[in-house]
């Protein structure tokens, strides 16, 4: 997956971008609906409940036992009524359903048998989708092992940067593929070594994917683990590519924000705050960057117009959906699980269905999630500052 710090609606930097995103979503739903219409079998009114490797409970068929708790590896789940989910009747499920369809590309055992219905319901009304969910699923409040339902929500995003295939005065910071001798030296050279040692630089000389303008943006790209590069073309046009996580130098990750806080240099350790301080103190930029020895290497992936409305692949192996995908601790919530997420704070207020499709090294614990904000400046602003209380309910088969 994406190593991350670890977002509510997709990025909307302009009216034009919103219209393009909406049109792209409408096209995805139309294609899915046309494919579903080709199926000869009508949707069964009652689907057989799948057998889960980790069942939440085993009541009589169709029974709702509100308040029943099941202890799990890192948390416990408590059965609640649908009416206990704040805002459930108001959520427009369209974007969440697209994320669920993505999860059905690699569904877990508990959800595989429902995927045919999920696809057929992609063009149904939210009311029809909610009725189907009530029929086949039961919400379970996620709590700590001691019964605390409160946790933490943070955010992550996919940086989008201008770049060049050739090094220029404006674009001089390399984005690297893994060096060919990466596995011959564990750990590999740290960030300071890569910038200063001739042998490290020689190993990376022919491994550059592209060059970006700002070393801080390059670091953010590495921390997020994936990004979009807009490559300038000789004819003046540009080509959008994705760079996806391909490995690291096996050095420990250390937060530049934490280093700046420990030095007493900043009080705002969000990415916008870090970037503002570094811009004001260019003479200390290199020292700050070297405080994090870990370097991430990438692989280049094509980015079609249809792929561009989704994010990179998460740990589940499916593309992330802006505003509807979260990273979780898979020992707390299995990949592919629909989750009702409630969070309110200074940055945003969320009451919506999301899909557990990713994880990260910092995402551990019972009630913990990282919210995928999308890409671009607005997503960076939200993800960089998002840190607020969280409650979650898994939507689990009856």
Contact between 289 and 191 (Cβ < 8 Å)? yes
Please report the pLDDT score of residue 269 as a whole number. 84
pLDDT at 281 over 80: yes
Percent of the chain with pLDDT over 70: 83
95-119: pLDDT as tens digits: 899 999 999 999 999 999 999 999 9
SS3 category, 203: helix
The reported pLDDT for the residue numbered 3 is: 38
Given a contact cutoff of 8 angstroms between Cβ atoms, the answer to whether 126 and 92 are in contact is: yes
Confidence of residue 361 (pLDDT cuts 50, 70, 90): confident
Per-domain boundaries in the chain: 15-39+67-123+135-155+316-397, 159-307
For residue 40, give the DSSP letter: S
DSSP state of 345: S
CB count, 10 Å around CB of 170?
Answer: 11
Residue-wise pLDDT tens digits, 142-191: 999 999 999 999 999 999 999 999 999 999 999 999 999 999 999 999 99
Q: What mean pLDDT comes out for the span 50-78?
A: 61
User: Residue with structure tokens 């960076």?
Assistant: 380
Model confidence band, residue 27 (pLDDT cutoffs 50, 70, 90): very low
For residue 18, pLDDT beyond 70: no
Pairing type for strands 69-71 and 76-79 reads antiparallel
49 Cβ contact partners less than 8 Å away, ≥ 6 residues apart: 61, 113, 136, 397, 398
pLDDT of residue 66: 67
Classify 15-39+67-123+135-155+316-397 by CATH class: mainly beta
Place of tokens 């789940």: 77
- Alpha carbon distance 309, 11 (integer Å): 11
CB atoms within 10 A of CB 173: 18
Phi-psi region of 128 (alpha: psi -120 to 50; beta: other; left: phi over 0): alpha
Equal fold, 15-39+67-123+135-155+316-397 vs 159-307? no
Q: What element of type H or E holds 397?
A: strand 387-397
- pLDDT of 24: 45
160-164 and 208-212 strand pairing? antiparallel
Neighbours of 279 (CB within 10 A): 11
CATH 3.20.20.20: does it fit domain 159-307?
A: no
pLDDT given for residue 347 in this prediction: 85
Grouping H, G, I as helix, E, B as strand and the rest as coil, residue 23 is helix
């Amino acid at each position: 997956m994406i190593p991350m710090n670890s977002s509510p609606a997709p990025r909307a930097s302009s009216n034009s971008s919103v219209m393009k995103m909406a049109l792209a979503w409408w096209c995805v739903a139309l294609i899915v609906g046309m494919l579903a219409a080709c199926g000869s079998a009508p949707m069964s009114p009652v689907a057989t409940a799948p057998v889960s490797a980790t069942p939440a409970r085993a009541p009589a068929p169709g029974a709702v036992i509100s308040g029943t708790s099941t202890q799990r590896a890192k948390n416990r789940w408590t059965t609640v009524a649908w009416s206990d989910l704040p805002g459930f009747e108001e959520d427009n499920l369209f974007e969440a359903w697209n994320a669920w369809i993505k999860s059905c590309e690699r569904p877990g055992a508990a959800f595989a048998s429902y995927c045919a219905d999920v696809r057929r319901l992609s063009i149904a009304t939210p009311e029809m989708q909610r009725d189907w969910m009530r029929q086949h699923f039961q919400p379970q409040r996620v709590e700590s092992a001691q019964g605390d339902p409160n946790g933490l929500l943070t955010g992550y995003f996919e940086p989008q940067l201008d770049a060049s295939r050739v090094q220029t005065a404006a674009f001089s910071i390399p984005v690297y593929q893994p060096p060919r001798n990466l596995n011959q030296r564990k750990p590999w050279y740290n960030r300071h070594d890569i910038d200063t040692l001739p042998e490290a630089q020689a190993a990376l000389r022919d491994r550059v994917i592209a060059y970006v303008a700002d070393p801080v943006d390059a670091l953010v790209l590495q921390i997020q683990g994936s990004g979009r590069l807009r490559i300038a073309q000789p004819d003046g046009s540009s080509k959008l590519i994705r760079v996806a996580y391909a490995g690291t130098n096996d050095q420990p990750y250390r937060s530049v924000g934490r280093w700046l806080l420990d030095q007493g240099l900043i009080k705002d350790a969000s990415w916008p705050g870090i970037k503002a301080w570094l811009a004001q103190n260019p003479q200390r930029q290199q020292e700050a960057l070297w405080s994090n020895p870990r370097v991430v290497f990438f692989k280049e992936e094509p980015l079609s117009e249809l792929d561009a409305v989704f994010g990179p692949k998460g740990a589940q192996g499916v593309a992330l959906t802006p505003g509807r995908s979260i990273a979780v601790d898979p020992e707390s919530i299995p990949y592919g699980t629909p989750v009702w997420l409630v969070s309110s704070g200074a940055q945003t207020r969320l009451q919506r269905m999301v899909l557990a499709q990713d994880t990260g090294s910092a995402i551990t614990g019972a009630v913990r999630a990282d919210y995928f904000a999308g890409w671009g400046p607005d997503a960076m602003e939200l993800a960089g500052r998002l840190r607020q209380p969280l409650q979650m309910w898994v939507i689990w088969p009856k």
